[in-house]
Amino acid sequence: MIEIKNEEELRLFEIEKPEEPVEVVTPKTSTVPISEIEEVFNHWVATFRSTGRGPVPVLSDKRKSKIGKAIKDYGVKTCLEAISGCAMSEWHMGENPRGKKYDDIELILRDSAHIERFATIYAEEGNTGRSEFLDD
């Protein structure tokens, strides 16, 4: 398994792309497997960006870092729940004075307060068995 320890190594990896599984290691993500980061990112894309409108979201280095830190702190399941919980928040879905959606993955996983708030919304309002991907 290859470990990537800094941004420069990550850039070089992106150019060379070896075929073996890769584990992204940065100071913020520690040893979070890229497959877990991709799972959380893909769930966010499916939840919020699957309309086909606008640019296709990219799993940038900044997003990888943010998602990796959230997974390290809370685990994949809680991150998935936080994304689903945000989708259940009328305020974040545009029912606010600005009529603007606040659904970016960097907002949802910004810090402990955001992750916990959205995961709580999911636990209180959405844990109805509708989300098969969250079942262990």
Residue 91 lies in a domain: yes
Q: Out of 5-9, 54-58, 99-103, give the one with best mean pLDDT.
A: 99-103
Residue 29 lies in a domain: no
The one-character DSSP state at 56 is P
Q: In this prediction, what percent of the chain has a pLDDT beyond 70? A: 67
Structure tokens at 59: 């799993």
Residue 86 lies in a domain: yes
Residue 76 lies in a domain: yes
Torsion, Cα 58 102 93 71, to 10 degrees, reads 60
Residue 23 lies in a domain: no
Kindly report, residue by residue over 18-45, the tens digit of the pLDDT: 455 555 555 554 589 999 999 999 999 9
**Exposure on the CB side of residue 18, measured as CA atoms within 13 A:** 12
Residue 93 lies in a domain: yes
How high is the pLDDT of residue 39? 96
Residue 119 lies in a domain: yes
Kindly report, residue by residue over 38-52, the tens digit of the pLDDT: 999 999 999 988 766
- Confidence band, pLDDT 50/70/90 cuts, at residue 109: very high
In angstroms, rounded to a whole number, what is the distance separating the alpha carbons of residues 97 and 100?
8
Number of domains the chain contains: 1
Domain range for 89:
35-134
How high is the pLDDT of residue 56? 81
Give the full edge-to-edge strand order of the sheet including 32-33: 2-4, 22-24, 32-33
* Beta-carbon contacts of residue 127 (< 8 Å; ≥ 6 apart): none
Closest CA to 77 of 34, 124, 39, 125: 39
- Confidence band, pLDDT 50/70/90 cuts, at residue 93: confident
Question: Is 0.85 surpassed by the pTM of this model?
Answer: no
Whether residue 7 is predicted with pLDDT greater than 90 in this model: the reply is: no
**Structural contact between residues 5 and 25, judged by C-beta atoms closer than 8 angstroms:** yes
Mean pLDDT of the chain: 79
Residue 115 lies in a domain: yes
